[in-house]
Chains A and B, each alone.
Chain A
Amino acid sequence: MAEISTTSNSGPARWLVVAVPYIWLLLFFAAPFLIILKISLSDTAIAMPPYTPVLDGLGSVGDFVSQLDLENYLFLAEDPLYIQSYLSSLQMAFISTLLLLLIGYPMALAMARAPSRWRPTLVMLVILPFWTSFLIRVYAWIGILKPEGLLTVFLQTIGLMGPDEQVQIYRTDIAVFIGIVYSYLPFMVLPLYSALEKMDATLLEAANDLGCPPMKAFWKITFPLSTPGVIAGSLICFIPITGEFVIPDLLGGPDTLMIGKTLWTEFFGNRDWPLASAVAVLLLLVLVVPIMIFQNQQQKAG
């Protein structure tokens, strides 16, 4: 009934509600990808914009297309730096996601099993750090992890470390992992919590009554029922971590290879826009499968 009344009554308004956001996203989200693809096939030039060919007028379309080539992609394939960057980004993202699951799952479980009057406060306590700036939270870790930083001072004070020793974590991959786990933890905990909270507690009681040991009950009942949360949380973390720039740049060392950093350097450091575009297109190709899975899952949930 409701569907009929809205569809028949609201002609222009209905059209507008769909069209305005649709056109905006086509212009500013979809169209830029076509441009990035085109520029990745162009050559660098010392000009503004720093690439050729530039399309000017419809007459030169044939000329324009003939100047596009795969040179940048061949360059990426030949230089081991780029391949290593992609592989190491995927590896860092994979390990970080596992660490996030290992830390986030017990937290989400404890939240879901907390007395129900506490739960809204606990959820808010997880969300609150997410509202404070990403940059600020990464910055906070620099002060802690620096060789002369607070962790060193703390370990020296409690006697675990001699007065001459210093913590050598800052500007290593370990610092990057700490920064990533810290920044992405709310994104992992919340989907896990919402999956675990919906779970029927009587299932576990039944398992217990039938003599199933708690650990076995966890792997047979709790974990399988929470898989939608595990998948959602993992994808929400894994995909952006692969392209992460701020954390490896501020906490990582010179040998921390991540593709987001490589793209940034190509663009801002070397001003090689076509190569940076090719790096972005390949990163998108690497992530297209996880992104599609994520979208499908969201559409099902929505």
Chain B
Amino acid sequence: MKSARFDPIVLTLGFAFLYIPIIILVIYSFNASRLVTVWGGFSLQWYAAMWSNEGLMDAAWVTARVGVLSASIGTVFGTMAALALVRYSRFPGRTIFSGMIYAPLVMPEVITGLSLLLLFVAVNVDRGFWTVTIAHTTFTMCYVAIVVQSRLLTFDRSLEEAALDLGCPPVKTFFKITLPLILPAVLAGWMLAFTLSLDDLVIASFTTGPGATTLPIKIYSQVRLGVTPEINAICTILIGLVTVSVVVASIASKRAELRRIRDEHVALRGTV
């Protein structure tokens, strides 16, 4: 069966295309030379330069706060939206609701950014930290909703039903039974929301104000002036942080999955 055979060459080329640019970027952050194409020996000077660049550090701090806050609110709202979509098949305006969940996923960022800015101007709000946080909450909650929704769709509801039948109030059932079971998806949603917020340039550019420059806005304005190893250094740190947290999260969720299966086995043996 020739056509169905596994083809490692395509995969090697594909992954090379995806990873080589990032690897080059990381390598050249340790370059002693200021020229991006000349290797002048190993050096950490750009990390030192980055560390003492106050503008960059301030922007990193703003970005981290916006990210944590908007991801956390977005995760709560997104989880609620996912519950609404999966559990309540009928409520007034459900089509509009699900439309508003899916549309932001593909909406060009320039449109979302401009429209939110015009809203903030129309209601006369000072733009800054809070307007960026609101903007990020709005688009990240939709991603969280999609992630949690896909978990809820494969969810075995018999445990919930048992709790409800035994007279456990619905809200308590949610926090005692449903939430622990969908927690990996909720945490994955939070991480996705946080990295999307960390990543966003366009929407933040529209909705920010004086004193709330985020890291992407800062990086963008420096990139326009030219490639500097300092930018490579901050990019390397961001890539490192994200890689470590994604790998740790996936290992942790795999462990939790194994533990759950083992617990189920033990429980089953206990009942027999």
Q: Which residues of A contact B (CB under 8 A)?
A: 1-3, 5-6, 9-10, 13-14, 16-18, 20-22, 24-26, 28-33, 35-36, 39, 49, 103, 106-107, 109-111, 113-115, 122, 124-129, 131-137, 139-144, 146, 148-150, 152-153, 182, 185-186, 189, 201, 204-205, 208, 214-215, 217-218, 222, 235-236, 239-240, 242-246, 250, 260, 263-264, 267-268, 273, 276-277, 280, 283-284, 287, 290-291, 294-295, 298-299, 302
Q: Are B106 and A141 in contact (CB under 8 A)?
A: no
B116 within 8 A of A: yes
Contact A139:B235 (CB < 8 A) given known A49-B121, A128-B246, A215-B3: yes
A243: chain B residues within 8 A (beta carbon):
107-111
Interface centre among A125, A126, A136, A240 (most CB of B within 10 A): A136
Roughly how many angstroms separate A144 CA and B78 CA in the complex, as a whole number? 39
Residue in B78, B87, B145 whose CB lies within 8 Å of A6: B87
**CB-nearest residue of chain B to A208:** B1
Residue in B80, B122, B174 whose CB lies within 8 Å of A20: B80
Q: Are B21 and A2 in contact (CB under 8 A)?
A: no
B10: chain A residues within 8 A (beta carbon):
106-107, 109-110
Closest beta carbon of chain B to A86's beta carbon, Å:
12
Main secondary structure of the interface of A (DSSP, over half): helix
Q: Are A144 and B109 in contact (CB under 8 A)?
A: no
Roughly how many angstroms separate A264 CA and B113 CA in the complex, as a whole number? 10
Known interface pairs A103-B17, A243-B111; 6 further A-B residue pairs with C-beta atoms within 8 A, sorted by A's residue number: A6-B87, A36-B115, A124-B246, A133-B198, A186-B18, A280-B115
Main secondary structure of the interface of B (DSSP, over half): helix
Binds A, one of B40-48, B50-58, B95-103, B179-187: B95-103
Residue in A24, A131, A273 whose CB lies within 8 Å of B138: A24
**CB-nearest residue of chain A to B100:** A25
**CB-nearest residue of chain A to B222:** A139
Q: Are A218 and B100 in contact (CB under 8 A)?
A: no
B105: chain A residues within 8 A (beta carbon):
236
Q: Are A217 and B110 in contact (CB under 8 A)?
A: no
B134 within 8 A of A: yes
Roughly how many angstroms separate A213 CA and B117 CA in the complex, as a whole number? 57
**CB-nearest residue of chain A to B202:** A245
Q: Are B199 and A135 in contact (CB under 8 A)?
A: yes
Q: Are B24 and A240 in contact (CB under 8 A)?
A: no
Residue in A21, A35, A276, A280 whose CB lies within 8 Å of B80: A21
Q: Which residues of B contact A (CB under 8 A)?
A: 1-8, 10-11, 14-15, 17-19, 21-22, 24-25, 28, 36-37, 77-78, 80-81, 83-89, 91, 93, 96-112, 114-116, 118-119, 121-122, 134-135, 137-138, 141, 145, 149-150, 153, 157, 160-161, 164-165, 169-171, 174, 195, 198-199, 201-202, 205-206, 216, 219-220, 223-224, 227, 231, 235, 238-239, 242-243, 246, 250
Q: Are B3 and A218 in contact (CB under 8 A)?
A: yes
User: Top 7 nearest A-B pairs by Cβ distance?
Assistant: A243-B108, A214-B3, A32-B115, A10-B170, A21-B81, A140-B21, A239-B106
Residue in B25, B98, B150 whose CB lies within 8 Å of A136: B25
Q: Are B85 and A302 in contact (CB under 8 A)?
A: yes
Roughly how many angstroms separate A117 CA and B237 CA in the complex, as a whole number? 31
Q: Are A295 and B98 in contact (CB under 8 A)?
A: yes
**CB-nearest residue of chain A to B91:** A18
**CB-nearest residue of chain B to A236:** B106
Residue in B37, B99, B134, B206 whose CB lies within 8 Å of A28: B134
Closest beta carbon of chain A to B78's beta carbon, Å:
7
Q: Are A294 and B106 in contact (CB under 8 A)?
A: yes
